[in-house]
Structure 1
Amino acid sequence: MAEHPNRDAPAAGRGGFGASGRRAKVADMVSEGLYVAAAATRLALKNRILVDILAQGGDFDVTHFVPEAREILLTLAEEADQDAQRMRDGRKLASRRFSDSDGTHDYRSRDVRNLRRRERQSQRVAKELRARAADDVQLRTLVEGAREAAWAEVSRNIDRTLRIEAARPDLEPDYAKLRDARMQSLRLVDLPRLAAHRRRNEQGAAGELHDQEVTDRPRTVGGIDLSELE
């Protein structure tokens, strides 16, 4: 796909990596791609469920989210097709280049085999995603998984809120130990910092008062108050 093919992959027949090894590796990569696609679909559906059910107050209905699950899978299939096309174009261009590569995506003739494998991988991912998009059972399974993920997120938030709002010292086994630590931090850090802040404020206020007194003092020359001459 977008990443650079593995230039160091052994050729067929060398190091025990033959046709069966290549097929196994492609199958693993396809499985990984499908797993990522399923996770992305569940995440998108989970967010939609949270908005529709919680924010808008709707009722959960599996069939309501099936079309969206299908649309997400088809979009991911289209992206896989585009990846396959990029690998195909890169392979054709690389087959005519025999010099050293200048960068990550600057393919050369030795990359052709790996580019072809990446192309087949993306094609198989796209095909499988379209098959799943046409299977109502698969789609309902994705929606149910997204609902469980949404509920898990909501329940964690509720539990966290209740723990904060209903916290009681007698229900926390480490309360005494944590209380000693908090009190020590209060004595050693917070109170000295507060005292220093108060001293700075008092010194600043005293300086301002002194400046005001100097400013308000009558201006005199030779014992004569100049303000009386104004």
Structure 2
Amino acid sequence: MSIFRRRPRLNLGKFQAPEPVEAAPIERVVEEGVLIARNAVRMAVKNRIIVDAARDHLDYDDGALAGLVHVEFDHLAEQAERLLRGSHSDRNRAVQAGLAEGLRQASMDGELISAIIDEARELAWSEIGTAIIAKLRDSYIPTADPQYLKNRDTRLRELRTINLAELEAAAHGEY
């Protein structure tokens, strides 16, 4: 039978190990870790703004959001410290210690906290606006009405027969 026929082997060549890659400097790894944490905190704040506005009907509160940013950075710093205790290599310990310190500093940086709140607010209102527009679009396009598409050509023909200049003159009067 043809379904049990063996396929020919592919020649993939001989394996060659890749060249070793030099590890990134610890300072760079820590800096990138803090940037990733900043984005995570910004997303948490954005989500809080959306939930407060849409579900809980709460007013926007800069003070509460600043507290949230501080708590989120502290929580991430605590996670880094827990990983530090479980690290077995000097490099991992150095990275986790640097990350914990960077996150603690970020939680106390007023300018950074304000910037995160502003960015999160812009993202939240953009997302809310997009959702509102989509909901309005769905509710005002009567695609569920079977006569809508059938009568569309008639409505377009009627629209073409309207004398727009006459309509404008009637709206403004002669003088």
- After superposition, the C-alpha distances for 1:61-109 in whole angstroms (9 at most, x for unaligned) are 322211111011001001011111111xx3xxxxxxxxxxxxxxxxxxx
The structure number with the bigger radius of gyration is 1
- Alignment-derived partner of residue 91 in structure 2: 117
CA distance in 2, matches of 1:64, 1:75: 16
Contact 1:26 1:117 in 2 (8 A): yes
Distance apart, 1:27 and its partner CA: 2.7
> How far off is 1:128 after superposition?
0.8
User: Are the structure 2 counterparts of residues 35 and 65 from structure 1 closer, same or farther at C-alpha, using a change threshold of 3 Å?
Assistant: same
| TM-score of the superposed pair, with normalisation by structure 2 | 0.63
Aligned residue number for residue 37 of structure 1? 37
Distance 2:74 2:85 in 1: 17
Partner of 1:65: 65
TM-score, normalised relative to structure 1: 0.49
Per-residue displacement from partner, 1:12-40 (whole Å, max 9, x unpaired)?
xxx8x5xxxx5x53233223211221122
**Structure 1: runs of 5 or more not aligned:** 1-7, 91-114, 170-174, 176-230
**Structure 1's 86 and 62: CA in aligned 2 closer, same or farther, altered over 3 A?**
same
Structure 1 residue 168, shift from structure 2 partner: 7.2
Indicate the RMSD between aligned Cα atoms, in angstroms: 2.5
Q: Which runs of 5+ in 2 are unaligned?
A: 1-17, 144-148, 150-175
Alignment partner of 1:53 is 2:53 = yes
- Deviation >3 Å, runs of 4+: none
Corresponding position: 1:82 with 2:97:
no
Q: Which residue of 2 aligns with 1:160?
A: 134
Return the alpha-carbon distance in structure 1 between the equivalents of residues 27 and 130 of structure 2. 37
Q: 1:143 to 1:117 in 2, by over 3 A?
A: same
- Whether the 8 Å CA contact 1:63–1:140 is kept in 2: the answer is no
In the TM superposition, what are the counterparts of 1:143-154 in structure 2 within 5 Å?
143-154=117-128
Identical columns (%)? 28
Provide closer, same or farther for how the CA distance between residues 153 and 83 of structure 1 changes in structure 2, counting only shifts above 3 A: same
CA distance in structure 2 between the aligned counterparts of 1:44 and 1:59, rounded to whole angstroms: 17
Write the distance in 2 (CA, Å) between the matches of 1:118 and 1:148: 36
